[in-house]
Amino acid sequence: MSGRLVHVGSAVVDYVYRIDALPAAGTEKTASAYARVAGGGFNMMVAASRTGMKVVFGGQLGTGPDGDFLRKAFAAEGIETLTPPSPSMDSGNCVAMISADAERTFVSWPGAESRLTPDMMKSVQVVAGDWVFTSGYTLSYPGSRDALTHWIEALPAGIPFVFDPTPVIADIPRPILDRVLARTTWLSCNTNEAAEIAGAGDAQTVAIRLLAEHCPSAEGVVIRAGAQGCLVRMADGGTRAVPGFEVEAVDTNGAGDTHIGAFVNGLSRGMLPCEAARYANAAAALSVTRHGGSSAPADTEIQEFLTERGEATTAPGRAKATAT
């Protein structure tokens, strides 16, 4: 195994309501279920951790009931927090409404995770073998984007940096986005986010532009397409569409996070990028068959899933599973 995943994004508490459909303006709905769960960047960290990677958190948690809730969730997953809690703010939260078609709608409130300073980031140290990840959410916050961008730019050259722009990409100032993309080793985004960066076009054309014009140091980009799978474009010119898996989805919340966490874990174990993408597609497929954003499967579950479909993975140090 490689070193750690150092996550310098954000984690929040999700207040999840399940409803048949979104209410019309001025009306009210009664939820069929409710849950309070750890969310945001926690979902990606869980995916990496459950598939076998050591994960540490370099963002900021708050002081208060939501911060306490997140610390307990981190501890339960074996995720260490590298920064001290905010002395003045609680962690943020997000209301997530999951409709009967498994789609989700969010309303968020930023908290301590939206405030990062250079002094806070001093305690977040990386060593050879580590992988670093951040998301667009932390870069969208005026109180955190500058400190985080400087910290990313100062990463040692040999440390891989993975970036997910997330749906809030339009809220990231373009100069900040360009600086982060310039240091990105692997970009993982959905089709809408890819087009926001590089303009409209088919996935392969957009991926080519992402590498040629926006991510000059990247080894590759992954453009996620939900149930259809993803497209992997390498800096050396190789392109492959990696199909998804047909499952009955009950909750798509956290599927992208699961995909990224599993993909990074696969790369860290020595999988080839397309094999890591297939592994990530399987992880995301399993996650949407379960309720909750942090529904990422364990490595053994992913391997069993792939073996059942005759697509078992092989990574250095791992014996190839035998299909049954």
Q: What's the pLDDT at 1?
A: 42
Strands (E), 110-238: 131-135, 161-164, 186-190, 220-224, 229-234
Report how far residue 35's alpha carbon sits from residue 222's, in angstroms, rounded to the nearest whole number.
32
CB-CB contact of 286 with 241 (8 Å): no
Cα–Cα distance list, 49 to 229, 282, 292, 298 (Å):
22, 16, 17, 8
Positions of the chain with pLDDT under 50: 1, 316-324
Report how far residue 237's alpha carbon sits from residue 268's, in angstroms, rounded to the nearest whole number.
22
Report how far residue 184's alpha carbon sits from residue 166's, in angstroms, rounded to the nearest whole number.
15
Report how far residue 5's alpha carbon sits from residue 53's, in angstroms, rounded to the nearest whole number.
7
Q: What are the residues facing 161 on neighbouring strands?
A: 132
Per-residue burial over 154-190, b if 16 or more Cβ lie within 10 Å, else e, is: ebeeebbbbbbbbbbbeebeeebbebbbebbbbbbbb
Residue entry with tokens 């997530």: 96
Which helix (H) or strand (E) segment holds residue 242: the answer is strand 239-243
Measured in degrees and rounded to the nearest 5, phi and psi for residue 285 equal -60, -45
Report how far residue 159's alpha carbon sits from residue 177's, in angstroms, rounded to the nearest whole number.
19
Tell me the HSE value of 216 on the side-chain side, using a 13 A CA sphere: 4
Is the Cα dihedral 95, 135, 39, 110 positive or negative?
A: negative
Which helix (H) or strand (E) segment holds residue 239: the answer is strand 239-243
Residues in the chain: 324
pLDDT 10s digits, 53-88: 999 999 999 999 999 999 999 999 999 999 999 999
Q: Is 68 exposed, middle or buried (0-12, 13-18, 19+ CB in 10 A)?
A: middle
- Token pair of 189 as six digits: 């985004």
Q: What's the pLDDT at 314?
A: 57
Q: What's the pLDDT at 322?
A: 26
